[in-house]
Amino acid sequence: MKLYLRWTCFLWSLVLLSCSVTEVPPVAKKGHLTADLYLKNSKNTIQLVGDWEYYPGLLFLPKDLPEIKSIREPHYFTVPGVWTNSFLEKGFLAGDGYATFHLEFVHGLKGIPLSIKVPEMETAYNLFVDGEKLVSNGTVSTSYQTGIPEYRPQIIDFIPNENQTSFLLQISNYHHRKGGPAQVLTLGRTSEIHKQFEFEILRDMLVVGSILFMGLYHIFLYWNRKKDPFTYWFALTCILVALRVFITGNKYLVQLFPNLPWEIHLKLSYLSFFFITPIFARYVYLLFKPYFSRRIYELLKYIGFSFCFIVFVTRSSFYTYLMIPFQIFTLFGAMYTIIVLYRAIRDELPGSIIFLTSFLVFVTSFVNDILVNNLIINSPLTIHFGIFMMFFVQSIYIARNFSKGFVEAENLAIELSEKNQTLQKVQNQITILNERLETRVKEKTIELQSKLDQITKDMKLAKSIIHSVTKVPEMEPYLKVDILYKPTADVGGDIFFVKRIQDFYYRFFLGDATGHGLQAALYSMMIQSEFERVSAVAMRPNDLLFYMNQHFYDKNADLQIYFPALVMDFDFHQSILRYAGGGVQNQIILKKNSEPMILENTGPIIGILEHYRYGIFETKVVSGDRIFLFTDGLFEELNEADGMQAWDELLRTIQSTNGLPFDEVIPSIQSMLYQKMNKTVWKDDSTLLLIEVV
């Protein structure tokens, strides 16, 4: 998860750095913009924003400007902006109209090749530079019948004859809810403008290619594993986002299909956005089904598809008014998704934190673009990057889960192959034995008896060895120790060691090795050997677990020896107890005259994670404190369906012995556990170490 967070922060930082501005450019005031000093830096480009002269309801040529000014005072219009009136006043005609805009621009770049990047306007325009018509989109008109909308961003090159240039912009709109110069004209030296445009193309194509590849990749994942349908909806969302990046921005779709009708292009632009919400809602719903209300999902789905249907069957002069309601609707869905993720994080669902982090990046970029598109703020559009980063993190998360599944499948396949080989060997042996059974029955009986005698001797020797290594040293006058050790065979999997490091320093070790009998004995010897080796260098319990974990991970990986273990040190120079636990159940300290203290795990079981640094717990001990160290076999049969309830039963049993003398505690616990289980033996090895501070 930390790796995902680092990647998210890194990518988002790149976006923010790419949007940073080192020098504040000037803006137009009352139809004049002076930027000669700013443009002395050949790398600088300037956006022609600010107050332009505004002549609403008039379309005239540059040669008519002096006459128009002599008979009519100009208004001033803040660019970027729209002249759209209130919907309540003019209804669906709120954005209709036409006007002329004028700007005098002092640049000081006479004779130097300049370029203007002209985005689309709402929805047709003519641009005149120094009286010459350089570029147009659609047909500018004073009536709906003759006006033709068009979206086609362009770069216009020209060489100014003076240090000052006059811009005259005619705009008309009868097809969109917004009318006017809603986009920004950018001017600079020809090389710099083209360089920026090429960079935008490269950036957009990288975003489109990356997101589209994610979508195709997850389509194939779904094709080969239909048990995980969320990958299909994730892929559809990726493809829609890639399509939207291709359609919007620099309008690459129009560049590819020049004769594509404006109405179809705009419908595709809206649909590529409107379809994302219900489809992405389906993906989140399938991922977090226990936390996502089905009614809310159905609401998001049907309302989202209703918006899409309206776009299909109506004209642009109607459905463009749906954008703001749909943005509000999408924000509602985003807020509910955050609530769903909060519930998942509360229940510690794997992957929910990283999902929330990437989703918040997306929501932030989405809100930024809503504010920009509605001309509330003027900043770069970031939604494509926000979606890319969210989907990038999500694709890594999904790939990680699939990778885990593949690894588990490979391990199971290897295990199955080994089992089959073993089974085949056994079958061959059985065939041979059956063929020779009549002639060799006596010989085999004698041989088996001999082996049984040898195994019995080996078991006795193993039991003697285990008894010798678990012998408790003299610990007076600091500690008293009593032990309940109940192996299910002569030699069990539970293993404990008590070692006097110094006269005032004692170390306790308790582990639960795999299996019983000789296997458990061999594992116990390996653990005991490693314990003795590292005890000499491990100054603290967590250091000892770290060294043992590294040893068994490196040296015994083929044996797959994993076991829970705990280490507890008593330092009576400082009257301190130090504890570290790896994969064991919670242990118990009964403090004198106070509530019990619970010792929790400080790391995973031994041998499973490389280079894992275990935590440590320290507390003061005083005379009368009792510490109970035990394996799970002591209590797990109290309630086989609920391990936590069984542990609570054991805790209550231990607390009930608080007033008993030390020698009576373990017999009392054993008796009470037998009564609660209604049996007199355990099915698993059981060990309890009772330690009392003197």
Percentage of the residues of the chain whose pLDDT score is greater than 70: 84
With a CB cutoff of 8 Å and minimum separation 6, the contacts of 12 are 361, 385, 389
Measured CA to CA, the distance from residue 164 to residue 31 in angstroms comes to 13
For residue 363, the model assigns a pLDDT of: 80
- Measured in whole angstroms, the distance separating CA 54 from the mean position of its chain's CA atoms is 50
For residue 216, the model assigns a pLDDT of: 84
Report pLDDT digits (tens) over 495-535. 899 999 888 999 999 998 876 666 777 788 888 889 989 99
pLDDT average, residue stretch 190-207:
88
> Is it the case that residue 3 has pLDDT exceeding 50?
no
pLDDT average, residue stretch 217-235:
83
- E strands in 478-524: 479-486, 494-502, 505-512
> Is it the case that residue 105 has pLDDT exceeding 80?
yes
Confidence category of residue 564, pLDDT binned at 50, 70, 90: very high
Spell out the SS3 assignment of 361-418: HHHHHHHHHHHHHCCCCCCCCCHHHHHHHHHHHHHHHHHHHHHHHHHHHHHHHHHHHH
Residue of 56 and 561 predicted with greater confidence: 56
Confidence category of residue 4, pLDDT binned at 50, 70, 90: very low
DSSP state of 50: E
Evaluate the CA torsion angle 392, 398, 399, 404 in order and state its sign: positive
Q: Which of 326, 330, 329 is nearest to 310 (CA)?
A: 326
Report pLDDT digits (tens) over 409-447. 677 778 888 888 888 888 888 878 777 776 676 777 677
For residue 2, the model assigns a pLDDT of: 45
Point out which residues pair with 154 in neighbouring strands: 118
The tokens describing 556, both together, are 């015994």
Amino acid sitting at position 348 = E
Measured CA to CA, the distance from residue 675 to residue 672 in angstroms comes to 5
Residue of 216 and 340 predicted with greater confidence: 340
Q: What integer best gives the mean pLDDT of the chain? A: 84
For residue 67, the model assigns a pLDDT of: 92
> Is it the case that residue 252 has pLDDT exceeding 70?
yes
pLDDT average, residue stretch 279-299:
91
Report pLDDT digits (tens) over 344-390. 989 888 778 878 887 888 788 777 766 766 666 666 666 666 766 77
Cα angle 370-255-95, degrees, rounded to a multiple of 5:
40
The tokens describing 513, both together, are 């090795």
For residue 639, the model assigns a pLDDT of: 67
What domains appear along the chain, each with residue ranges and CATH number?
25-265 (2.60.120.260), 470-693 (3.60.40.10)
Give the range among 7-21, 214-228, 270-284, 593-607 with minimum mean pLDDT: 7-21
Considering 197-206, 339-348, 395-404, the range whose residues carry the highest mean pLDDT is 339-348
Residue of 461 and 246 predicted with greater confidence: 246
Spell out the SS3 assignment of 663-687: HHHHHHHHHHHHHHHCCCCCCCCEE
Point out which residues pair with 172 in neighbouring strands: 98, 124
- DSSP, collapsed to helix, strand or coil, labels residue 653 as helix
Give the range among 563-572, 652-661, 669-678 with minimum mean pLDDT: 669-678
Q: Which of 287, 270, 273, 272 is nearest to 359 (CA)?
A: 287
Residue of 20 and 95 predicted with greater confidence: 95
Phi/psi of residue 687, each to 5°?
Answer: -140, 135
The tokens describing 390, both together, are 């969210």
Q: Which of 47, 37, 54, 34 is nearest to 164 (CA)?
A: 34
With a CB cutoff of 8 Å and minimum separation 6, the contacts of 85 are 94, 95
Residue of 396 and 405 predicted with greater confidence: 396
For residue 313, the model assigns a pLDDT of: 93
For residue 77, the model assigns a pLDDT of: 94
Q: Which of 583, 673, 664, 584 is nearest to 626 (CA)?
A: 664
In order, the DSSP letters of 532-559 are: HHHHTT--SHHHHHHHHHHHHHHHSTTT
pLDDT average, residue stretch 91-96:
74
> Is it the case that residue 640 has pLDDT exceeding 80?
no
- DSSP, collapsed to helix, strand or coil, labels residue 564 as coil
Measured CA to CA, the distance from residue 262 to residue 308 in angstroms comes to 18
> Is it the case that residue 164 has pLDDT exceeding 80?
yes
Mutual angle of helices 2-18 and 352-373, in 10-degree steps: 20
State the residue for tokens 């008014």: 321
Report pLDDT digits (tens) over 447-490. 766 676 666 666 666 666 676 667 888 888 899 999 998 887 77
With a CB cutoff of 8 Å and minimum separation 6, the contacts of 430 are none
What is the gyration radius of the CA atoms in the chain, in angstroms?
Answer: 39
Point out which residues pair with 620 in neighbouring strands: 576
Confidence category of residue 586, pLDDT binned at 50, 70, 90: very high
Q: How far is CA 588 from CA 466, 504, 625, 630, in A?
A: 26, 23, 11, 9
Measured CA to CA, the distance from residue 127 to residue 612 in angstroms comes to 67
With a CB cutoff of 8 Å and minimum separation 6, the contacts of 353 are 1, 345
> Is it the case that residue 311 has pLDDT exceeding 90?
yes
Give the range among 54-58, 61-65, 315-319, 463-467 with minimum mean pLDDT: 463-467
pLDDT average, residue stretch 569-582:
95
Measured CA to CA, the distance from residue 623 to residue 247 in angstroms comes to 77
